[in-house]
Amino acid sequence: MTTASDPATPLDRRAEPTAHDGDARHDLTAPRLRRLRTWNVALTVLHAAQAVAVLVIASDFAIDLTTAYPAGPPGTPVPQAESAFAVPIGPAIAVFLALAALDHLLTGVLLRRTYESGLARGVNPFRWLEYSLSSTIMVVLVAMYAGIIQVSAVIAIVGANVAMILFGWVQERTNPPGRRPADLAPFWFGCVAGAAPWVAITLNLVGSEDVPAFVYGIFFSLFAFFMSFAVNQWLQYRQVGPWRDYGFGESVYLVLSLAAKSALAWQIVAGSLA
């Protein structure tokens, strides 16, 4: 006969701490944290410098977003689209670069301890908050250069991309260090949401004529970068090779972020703003 104090009772087994309790932590070494701090400070400077350079170099080129509303019951032909407002491309590029600079300033200097504490718990909310804004501006710019300029369509692209980023955040929040097997449902939901803008962009490019070569360059390079972010997270939660170290995956995010933002910024500048 067992009692409540017997260590073999189900009650005590339930009380034992597990990785699901949120107490488990990634073992991030001091050298790893120093490298991440150095990288974040460096990326602050690089993103900020590029933002300023784009504002100095770029022309005042803008793309008009349009609206077209039915003038009758469902099935009524939609009248010709009208200009709603213009999006100045140079400042839009500078904004997503500046958002990245702010993110890295916070994580590398101003809120470094909060950032490092989050990494130990397997989460980086700074990343997801920045991506929800910066990557959304980026995919909207890609869509606009592919000819998607109706306000309603742009709003849908914004919603899908933000949903993708938030699912990425949920993936981290629901999978604390040590949870095995990892629950990848939020990851796959995010992939579905994130695919929608790229399907729309692909359809527009396929159906268009005389698309400038640099637009195809933007499309293929940014699509590859966006997919690389997803692959990085998948490798983290599959614990493949060096991705067993959460800090390694964080380093990959930093490199991908700089590369993707720089690639988009300077392809647009070279193609239409110089």
Q: What are the structural domain ranges in the chain? A: 39-66+82-273
Q: What pLDDT, on the 0 to 100 scale, is given for residue 66? A: 97
Which pLDDT belongs to residue 24?
Answer: 58
pLDDT above 90: percentage of residues in the chain:
80
Q: Please tell me the predicted confidence (pLDDT) of residue 18.
A: 40
Closest CA to 91 of 137, 151, 132: 137
Taking only the tens place, the pLDDT of each residue in 34-71 is 999 999 999 999 999 999 999 999 999 999 999 999 88
pLDDT tens digits, 2-26: 444 444 433 333 333 343 444 556 7
Cα dihedral across residues 156, 159, 164, 170: positive or negative:
negative
Query: What residue spans of the chain are helical by DSSP H?
Result: 10-15, 30-57, 89-105, 112-120, 125-145, 151-173, 185-207, 213-238, 246-268
- Angle, alpha carbons 151-127-36 (nearest 5°): 145
The model carries a pTM of 0.88
Structure tokens at 163: 């949903």
State the CB neighbour count (10 A cutoff) for residue 98.
19
**Residues 123-151 pLDDT 10s:** 999 999 999 999 999 999 999 999 999 99
User: Cis omega (within 30 of 0) on the bond before 181?
Assistant: yes
39-66+82-273 falls under which CATH superfamily?
Rhodopsin 7-helix transmembrane proteins (1.20.1070.10)
Does the pLDDT value for residue 75 go beyond 60? yes
